[in-house]
């Protein structure tokens, strides 16, 4: 397969658009196989020109602006997922016979190993990481990639037994050749509407993943995640928060305890699982369904749950001595993720308060779905960033601040012993921070500094 693709590319005029992680992985792949190409990025200082020319003699570098001549002459364009060809006005320059694809599409054209693919607005990083953890624990040689970790072209290996891919809507726009064993759209909520314009369009793009898999693993709780799929055309396995039919995954309640189930078989109590909340219960169920499609033992998969501790910046508890639960959920970059965090924590409140810190760049999102949970569950809202004022309008009790450190101080004044302070922004971080990780780290540092000062 690899030899055939290399032979096809050898006679082509290849242009790599974007010099980020995926773009550079494409350049390294082409260089490894001595294929000539051009690399074009609109940013001027993204790469050291001298070092690049020494490392990649087969690739010419063009920085500072989009090179219209190269785009018009290209026969193959490898485009980074973060580049919006329409918004940048590049789509009109691309020849009709030019093949446009991303690094994941090129990878899928090359590999013949089993693939499990996951997309969704929220929870996909946790799910694929959980699934990779399970596979490793079962002695499988699995590779995790796509929109997470090491770029997939750098993970091509005969030794890999299975690839677990997290796919963004941007990656799905240029993906057509994947032949996954199973795929899932975990959920769909407002996100990236600055690029996809409508929720309907965004949902349709997400569901393209089902056109490229043998078995569709669908979320019964979220019709937006499967509304464009003809459920009669391929095998379906479903998961959801209600009771499961035979061959499906779900939840059952017995004596006030909830259990993960396969059909009517109880698998494990939610109280025994390290990740709390209904959104994480669905992640466990989706992982079981996807692993089941790979032929993995359900009982053996369940045995791996206890050793998976979750991801940084995703509902991550900060260790403190003040008896206040401080939670870093900085990776909640859209409304759906914040909804999941609030709803997941609501059952743990009893007589205590939940204080929410939110705000940032909403990227055109509709914040109105947050109004009901803020009114019913959240006691006080602290907002910041570009769209913080819009979120503040949803709350009766709120305060706007200028910095994250100020937000932590206000939260500390509001919180009492037993309360929960949740950083779950419902927004991207790009208006104030380098990325969501930096935002989460600064929140954690501010909370720790508060403890040390007290």
Residues designated as active site: 124, 147, 192
For 402-431, b/e burial (b = at least 16 CB within 10 A) is: eebbebbbbbbebbeeebbbbbbbbbbbbe
* Cα first-last separation, the chain: 63
Q: CA nearest 207: which of 180, 227, 221, 234?
A: 227
CA–CA dist 248, 261 (Å, integer): 8
Which position has the token pair 């040390």? 452
Cα angle, residue 416 at apex, residues 412 and 420 outer, rounded to 5°: 75
**DSSP letter for each residue of 9-48:** HHTS-EEEE--SHHHHHHHHHHHHTT--EEEEES-SSSS-
User: Residue 260: helix, strand or coil by DSSP?
Assistant: strand
CB 171 within 8 A of CB 197: no
Strands 14-17 and 76-79: parallel
Q: Taking the CB of residue 278, how many other CB atoms lie within 10 A of it?
A: 18
Q: CA nearest 166: which of 364, 331, 346, 373?
A: 331
Q: CA nearest 93: which of 118, 69, 72, 120?
A: 72
Instruction: Looking at 316-435, list the stretches that DSSP marks H as alpha helix, in order from N- to C-terminal side.
Output: 335-346, 371-376, 388-392, 404-414
CA 147, distance to chain mean position in Å, is 7
User: What is the number of H-type helices and E-type strands within the chain?
Assistant: 16, 20
Which position has the token pair 């939260």? 411
Q: Give Cβ neighbours of residue 413 (< 8 Å, ≥ 6 apart).
A: none
**Residue-level length of the chain:** 454
Q: For the chain, how long is the longest CA-to-CA vector?
A: 69
CA–CA dist 221, 242 (Å, integer): 8
CB 276 within 8 A of CB 348: yes
């Amino acid at each position: 397969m690899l030899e055939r693709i290399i032979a096809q590319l050898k006679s082509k005029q290849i242009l790599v658009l974007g010099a980020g992680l995926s773009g550079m992985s494409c350049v390294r792949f082409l260089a490894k196989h001595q294929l000539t190409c051009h690399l074009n990025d609109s940013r001027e200082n993204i790469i050291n020109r001298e070092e690049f020319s020494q490392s990649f003699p087969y690739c010419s570098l063009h920085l500072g602006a989009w090179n219209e001549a190269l785009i018009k002459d290209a026969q193959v364009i490898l485009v980074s997922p973060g580049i919006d060809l329409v918004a940048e006005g590049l789509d009109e320059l691309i020849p009709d016979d030019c093949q446009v694809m991303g690094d994941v599409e090129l990878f899928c054209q090359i590999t013949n190993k089993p693939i499990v693919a996951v997309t969704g607005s929220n929870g996909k990083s946790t799910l694929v990481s959980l699934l990779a953890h399970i596979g490793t624990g079962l002695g499988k040689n699995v590779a995790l990639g796509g929109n997470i970790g090491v770029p997939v072209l750098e993970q091509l290996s005969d030794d890999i037994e299975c690839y677990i891919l997290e796919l963004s809507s941007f990656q799905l726009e240029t993906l057509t050749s994947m032949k996954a064993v199973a795929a899932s759209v975990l959920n769909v909520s407002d996100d990236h509407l600055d690029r996809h314009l409508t929720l309907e369009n965004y949902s349709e793009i997400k569901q393209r993943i089902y056109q490229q898999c043998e078995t569709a693993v669908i979320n019964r709780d979220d019709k937006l995640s499967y509304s464009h799929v003809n459920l009669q055309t391929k095998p379906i396995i479903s998961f959801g928060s209600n009771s499961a039919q035979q061959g499906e995954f779900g939840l059952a309640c017995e004596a006030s305890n909830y259990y993960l189930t396969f059909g009517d078989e109880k698998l494990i109590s939610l109280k025994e699982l390290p990740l709390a909340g209904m959104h994480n219960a669905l992640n466990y169920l989706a992982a079981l369904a996807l692993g089941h499609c790979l032929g993995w033992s359900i009982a053996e998969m369940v045995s791996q749950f206890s050793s998976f501790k979750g991801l940084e910046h995703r509902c991550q508890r900060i260790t403190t001595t003040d008896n206040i639960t401080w939670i870093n959920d900085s990776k909640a970059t859209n409304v759906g993720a914040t909804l999941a965090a609030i709803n997941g924590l609501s059952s743990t409140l009893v007589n205590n308060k939940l204080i929410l810190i939110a705000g940032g760049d909403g990227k055109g999102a509709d914040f109105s779905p947050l109004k009901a949970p803020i009114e019913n569950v959240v006691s006080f809202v602290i907002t910041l960033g570009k769209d913080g004022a819009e979120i503040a309008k949803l709350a009766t009790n709120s305060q706007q601040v200028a910095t994250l450190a100020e937000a932590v101080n206000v939260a500390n004044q509001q919180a009492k012993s037993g309360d929960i302070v949740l950083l779950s922004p419902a927004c991207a971080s790009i208006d104030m921070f380098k990325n969501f990780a930096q935002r989460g780290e600064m929140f954690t540092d501010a909370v720790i500094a508060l403890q040390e000062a007290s």
